[in-house]
Amino acid sequence: MVCGALASLWPTMKTASGNTSIMDMFEEGKVVKICAPMVRYSKLAFRSLVRKYSCDVCFTPMIIAADFLRSVKARDSEFTTNKSDRPLIVQFAAQDPQTLADAARVVAPFSDGVDLNCGCPQRWAMSAGYGACLINKPELVEDMVRHVRNQVDNPDYTVSIKIRIHKDLRQTVDLCQKAESAGVSWITVHGRTTEERHQPVHYDAIKTIKDSVSVPVIANGDIKCLRDVESTHQHTGVNGVMAARGLLANPAMFAGYEDTPLQCIWDWVDIAVEQGTPFSCFHHHLIYMLERVSSQPERKVFNSLSSTSAVIDYLQNTYGSIHDPDTQICPF
């Protein structure tokens, strides 16, 4: 069962085996830099942008597996990709093993792995049996991982989980070890409990989990600049880091830029226009990118703009074009 949008890609898309393996990246010893799954934001256009600025792996937004399988409309709207959108991990919310495995088989020809969301703390997700409630169901997580591993034919296709931690870290270690025994490829750890939002990340907990399993571990939480990538790696020994809000504010963060460079702004304009990104998404991304580098009066004017042409005119008049000889390469 492949929806029309996916079927049309079939002749031109490479399979996962034709791309650089994510597991090979871990083997190389580099700190793998990953764009997190972000509802509404980590869609194809934004993934295309961060890949230009040293992001190694990208996640789709979380997709509810049951809806994805049931609805052609959901498949067409929730999963869009192209030939250059690799390596790509498709994150699903699921509550039973076969549904996750079926969804994985649909997207496997167009991606490099699937990830089971075990970290979303929102009430609607947890009440539906999705997200962070799964960290308290280690046997179910183990079964879901095993189903994907057994039913996707490609041995290089990865199955990972993204979790939050328990107050009693022994429970988290047990969860991770059960997932490892089921064949999980790697584990992303958001270093906060389900109840925590903006409290400091528990890096010691991430280190404990890293030391307790043999599969690669990714650290998530408060990665806001390239220095955070290195310090987190040094503190925890993780194999990679995942950023969300840091990349929204500065999509060039992984390339070492302290703030969003002008080139990145215009790259986003080009990508968004080319891919037909809806205005609200196009505008919201720019609001995030410009927040740290513009004044409050400038932000007030920019946030009130209501068309793509008005945004482009504003950027041109306020910051200039990257090709303008009178404009610095990175005026911000």
- pLDDT for the residue numbered 12: 32
CA-based torsion, 175, 161, 134, 150: positive or negative: negative
Cα–Cα distance for residue pair 11/9, rounded to 1 Å: 6
Q: Collapsing DSSP states into helix, strand and coil, what is residue 241?
A: strand
Q: Give the span between the Cα atoms of 332 and 325, in whole angstroms.
A: 16
> Over the chain (332 residues), what is each successive 10-residue block's mean pLDDT?
40 42 89 96 98 98 96 91 97 98 98 97 93 97 98 97 98 98 98 93 98 98 96 97 98 97 97 97 97 92 97 94 49 40
Which residue numbers belong to the known binding site for FMN?
Answer: 37-39, 91, 190, 244-245
Which 8-state DSSP code applies to residue 71?
A: -
Q: Could you give the residue numbers annotated as active site?
A: 120
Query: Is the distance from CB of 34 to CB of 58 less than 8 angstroms?
Result: yes
Tokens in use for 255? 């390339």
pLDDT recorded at residue 327: 41
Question: Which residues is 64 bridged to in the sheet?
Answer: 93
Tell me the pTM: 0.91
Tell me whether residue 104 is exposed, middle or buried, using C-beta atoms within 10 angstroms of its C-beta: 0 to 12, 13 to 18, 19 or more. buried
> Annotated binding residues, as ranges?
37-39, 91, 190, 244-245
pLDDT at site 331:
39
